[in-house]
Amino acid sequence: DGGITQSPKYLFRKEGQNVTLSCEQNLNHDAMYWYRQDPGQGLRLIYYSQIVNDFQKGDIAEGYSVSREKKESFPLTVTSAQKNPTAFYLCASSMGTVNTEAFFGQGTRLTVV
């Protein structure tokens, strides 16, 4: 089945630790995105990538890092510099950039303990 897979579904992090959220897609999409969702707020863009080995900061990139070494993978690292990392993280992909539909994974809920 084609789609976007995020793992893990739930993740717990101790303060001061870095954690990496996985996002894999087998849709052959060029563009991939990471969003953060907090209760009562809309999705906010963290990072996005239009093509392999290229990515751009979104609106709330501080405390996060990404890589795009392969077309199908776009992992997100939440670093210890992120002051309030507890949130629901969503990964998305689209075929390209113009006039294309975005598809989402099922999300990862990160909790700092």
Partner 1 sequence: KQEVTQIPAALSVPEGENLVLNCSFTDSAIYNLQWFRQDPGKGLTSLLLIQSSQREQTSGRLNASLDKSSGRSTLYIAASQPGDSATYLCAVRMKTSYDKVIFGPGTSLSVIP
Q: Which of 66, 92, 110, 112 binds partner 1 (CB under 8 A)?
A: 92
Contact 61, 76 (CB under 8 A): no
Q: How far apart are CA 94 and CA 72, in angstroms?
A: 11
**Binding of residue 106 to partner 1 (CB under 8 A):** yes
Number of residues that bind partner 1 (CB under 8 A): 29
DSSP assignment of 3-38 equals -EEEE-SEEEE-TT--EEEEEEE-S--SEEEEEEE-
Indicate the residue among 17 and 106 with the shorter CB distance to partner 1: 106
**Binding of residue 90 to partner 1 (CB under 8 A):** yes
**Binding of residue 93 to partner 1 (CB under 8 A):** no
Question: x-or-dash pattern for partner 1, window 51-80, by CB under 8 A?
Answer: -----x-x----------------------
Contact 78, 19 (CB under 8 A): yes
Task: Identify the DSSP state of 68.
Answer: -
Which residues are near partner 1 by CB under 8 A? 4, 6, 33, 35, 40-45, 48, 50, 56, 58, 88, 90, 92, 97-107, 109
